[in-house]
Chain A
Amino acid sequence: GAVVSQHPSRVICKSGTSVKIECRSLDFQATTMFWYRQFPKQSLMLMATSNEGSKATYEQGVEKDKFLINHASLTLSTLTVTSAHPEDSSFYICSARAGTGRLHEQFFGPGTRLTVL
């Protein structure tokens, strides 16, 4: 299957700092990328959908000014958690969909575990 990478895999930061997470599709062009967040023992919750070259679409309750998403190319999307606080500590997972793939077929990255002290 298609490969999606995320970097970093783990980050620990102080409260108030900003953290950038990269999501890359390594062997295909991802027209759409998705960002999810998963708290312990909870389901993956979609935060936003981003299409290359356009603004991301955020799910209800997700602050777009706090979670900045950039999808500048067909192989890279970034999520920046601005002014992170301890409640932002979570497992952030991206997924990517190829333009030629089925609508629901998403390939997941390995996730980034964020801990805000």
Chain B
Amino acid sequence: RKEVEQDPGPFNVPEGATVAFNCTYSNSASQSFFWYRQDCRKEPKLLMSVYSSGNEDGRFTAQLNRASQYISLLIRDSKLSDSATYLCVVNSKGNEKLTFGTGTRLTIIP
């Protein structure tokens, strides 16, 4: 079983719609969680950290469910510029390594 699993998609969503994707992780010792965004042929860029209580940054909302070991990302009022691959990333306590999921590809359709 992969350490971090995501639905690869693709998700094709009309502009203005709301889209959500989940990610599951297998290591119960995981401590820190992140969503990264990766554009085609570019490096990943940190979108937001995910906190236990859930957090919001503009149109983006991240949630963490430790009991079920999954995190989610919700994008509201989607824009064309949101088209990218979204990577779920997990880090274990006391460990500097980041474990990446394969990513979920999102395309916003005009």
Contacts and interface: CB of A to CB of B under 8 A. Distances in A.
Given A43-B102, A43-B103, A49-B96, A104 B91 contact: yes
Interface stretch (B38-46, B51-59, B60-68, B75-83): B38-46
B96 A44 contact: no
Nearest to B49: A104
A32 B43 CA distance: 18
Interface in A22-51: 32, 34, 41-46, 49
A58 to B, nearest CB: 13
Contacts of A106: 96, 98
B102 A42 contact: yes
A108 B45 contact: yes
Contacts of A113: 41
B71 to A, nearest CB: 15
A43 B42 contact: no
A93 interface: yes
Contacts of A71: none
A62 to B, nearest CB: 13
B28 interface: no
Interface of B: 4, 8, 32, 34, 41-45, 87, 91, 94-103
